[in-house]
Amino acid sequence: MKRYIYYFMIIGLLPVFSCTDGLDLYPNDKVTVDNYWNTAEDALRAVNATYSNTFPQSDTYGCDLLFLDAASDNTYPQHSNQFGNFQQIALNAFEANHAALQELWNRRYVTIRRCADFLVNIGNVNMDPILKNRYTAEVLFQRAYAYYYLIAQFGDVPWVDHPLTIQEASSIRRTDKYAIAKQIISDLDYATANLPSSYTNEEDDGRVTRWAAFALKSRICMFMAGDYRKSSPDQKWYWEQARDATDSVITKSGKFNI
């Protein structure tokens, strides 16, 4: 009987050693780095993923630009709803576990992670170079937008420009906010040079344009120049950059006026 058992064990092990070449080594039911980043459609889907947190629903702790102004002198909230979350921030009447800040942090770093994934892998996609530059400009805008929120609320924060390993994520440190500001302003310069003024296809409604990139650059530069909590290095440069970016939107575009 033992001899028969041994025979069955040997026969059962044969497929393991003899059919390795025929096994599917990668999962076919999910997207992985190994089976993605091949076509322009792959790149487009990755770009679209970076938009998901650009304007989150206002009923989710009020984590959009309108509510963010409630933490400044630009807006006074009269209601104790989502606006109230940021009024607490403006009054410095909040704790570390403040729900709106936690939501803001999580959403922005989800976007930054998706942007990093795109920027690391887009070079592997064989596609029209002009369209590739436009997609890259859209993603750089989204990263700049996310980091603007973060440095505005937290000051120095971790800078992420590639998908982090578990080890890196557990040891990453904060980067000086002025260094981050200079980088995202540079990213927006790339965006203004590679984004269209408008889109002709209906399915592209809502995509970032050159003028949106100029507007965001102006807002970031005014924030950095006007940070009187500490002496802002290159303050004059920030004001000049804000002026020029604003002029591009209001005057040079021929599309907007005050």
Mean pLDDT by 10 residues, the chain (258 residues): 50 49 58 76 95 69 63 66 62 72 87 96 95 98 95 92 90 94 97 95 92 96 78 83 95 78
Position 249 scores a pLDDT of: 93
Position 126 scores a pLDDT of: 93
Helix (H, G, I), strand (E, B) or coil at 157: strand
Position 65 scores a pLDDT of: 62
Q: Is the pTM of this model over 0.75?
A: yes
Answer whether 119's CB lies under 8 Å from 136's CB: yes
Position 150 scores a pLDDT of: 93
Answer whether 235's CB lies under 8 Å from 225's CB: yes
Please give the C-alpha separations between residue 216 and each of 15, 49, 96, 190, 210, in angstroms, as whole numbers.
Answer: 60, 20, 28, 13, 10
Q: What are phi and psi of 157, to 5 degrees?
A: -140, 165
Contacts 24+ apart (CB under 8 A), 232-236: 232/178, 233/178, 234/178
Position 14 scores a pLDDT of: 46
